Homo-oligomer: A and B are copies of this chain.
Amino acid sequence: MKSGAQPAQITEGYGAYGMEKDEKKNITIADVAEALGVSKTTVSRAISGKGRIGRGTRERVLTYIQEHDYKPNAIAKGLAQSKTYNLCVTMPGNYEVVDWNYFQECLFGIQEMAETAGYDILMTMGRRNDISSLERIVANHKVDGVIVMRTLLEDAQLEFLQQRDIPFVTTGSTNYEGVVQVDHNHRSACRELTSLLLMRGLTRIALVGEDEGYVVTQSRLDGFRDAYEQAGRTVDEELLYLNPDNRMMVGRVVQEILGQRVDCILCMDDAVTSRVLRALRERRVRVPEDVRVASFYDSMILQDNVPSITSLSFDSRELGRTACRELLDLIEGKPVEDRTLLSYEIVLKDSTK
């Protein structure tokens, strides 16, 4: 390395200028090879651990790159292997998504797993069924696989990925054939919670949701029905409030429900619960004295509510971890289950006392 004070004549490559902060020029495999008097092949093998190589040689290389803080250029490595070591995660980008805590946890799990395998996360958000962004990423060969974080009943993402034969998994369930999906067992969870309420003698239970075409809504409803069947009862269809536009008129819906003299309001998720609670408060209806309330999903938005709300609880981080693991397996050509269902917890609180 030249002493920075030489009087000019900086003609070839990097002169004093380029070297200002630390050595900017990144050290490459060729530099290592030259310094050690071995071939690039050997260095590559020492690092990757693939192919035969002498124990001594490997150690020499390893300690050298350690000391000189050599880091392989993932891009070049990718090019040579026709891989990117990137995973794409698609998130819903519409405003309606309230349970970001779910996504955060899930993402965290994904990243944890990806990191241990040397992969990074490329993120994309699109509005409902707008896949232009995903298309671009795939077309540009930027990722090795994708994790779809929210699926629709009719899902353009899945159709696109399937047709292009890109490895992918979904978090959350889908009805599409042959899609690798990992989800919490919502149906079973909803069945159990409903059963519990039924066993407590709550017979007139209203179910409130805002069907936006997500598959999970269907699973929840199925679970709800399962519980009734198991108990030898029949669901009162009059007490099912699942219109897509309930969001707008939650006040009217709650009014109607109260007119039906129910003893419990079961909400599909926490956004709904939050709005229902608000409507109840406005009408000075007490929980749980006048009516019980429970939710099929817990998130942070209800954590400070008075009274505390009975709900189902899911470990989203584990969901992310598992989904990522499956995707990696898929990419590596290992066999994977089409459907993986994770466990859940039921958390009983004041709202159903």
A interface, CB within 8 angstroms of B: 20-22, 24, 26, 71-76, 78-79, 84, 86, 89, 93, 97-98, 100-101, 103-104, 107-108, 111, 115, 120-125, 133, 136-137, 139-142, 163-165, 274-275, 278, 281-282, 300-301, 304-306
Contact = CB atoms under 8 A, between A and B. Distances in A.
A306 B121 CA distance: 40
Contacts of A136: 115
Copies of this polypeptide in the complex: 2
A155 to B, nearest CB: 18
A263 B95 CA distance: 35
B125 A122 contact: no
Contacts of A76: 79
Contacts of A281: 306
Contact of A124 (B24, B93, B121): B121
A192 to B, nearest CB: 27
A268 to B, nearest CB: 16
B74 A142 contact: yes
A73 B140 contact: yes
A79 B81 CA distance: 13
B75 A84 contact: yes
Nearest to A92: B104
6 contacts: A26-B141, A75-B75, A75-B84, A93-B108, A121-B123, A300-B301
Contact of A301 (B79, B86, B120, B301): B301
B139 A71 contact: yes
Which one of A75, A111, A275, A301 has the highest number of Cβ atoms from chain B below 10 Å of its Cβ? A75
Contact of A121 (B20, B101, B108, B122): B122
A305 B301 CA distance: 11
Which one of A89, A124, A282 has the highest number of Cβ atoms from chain B below 10 Å of its Cβ? A124
A108 B91 CA distance: 10
Given A89-B123, A115-B133, 19 more contacts: A74-B141, A75-B75, A75-B78, A75-B142, A76-B79, A93-B108, A97-B104, A98-B300, A100-B103, A111-B123, A111-B124, A121-B122, A121-B124, A122-B122, A123-B123, A274-B304, A275-B304, A281-B306, A282-B306
Contacts of A107: 123, 125
A340 to B, nearest CB: 24
Contacts of A141: 26, 71, 73-75
A137 B120 contact: yes
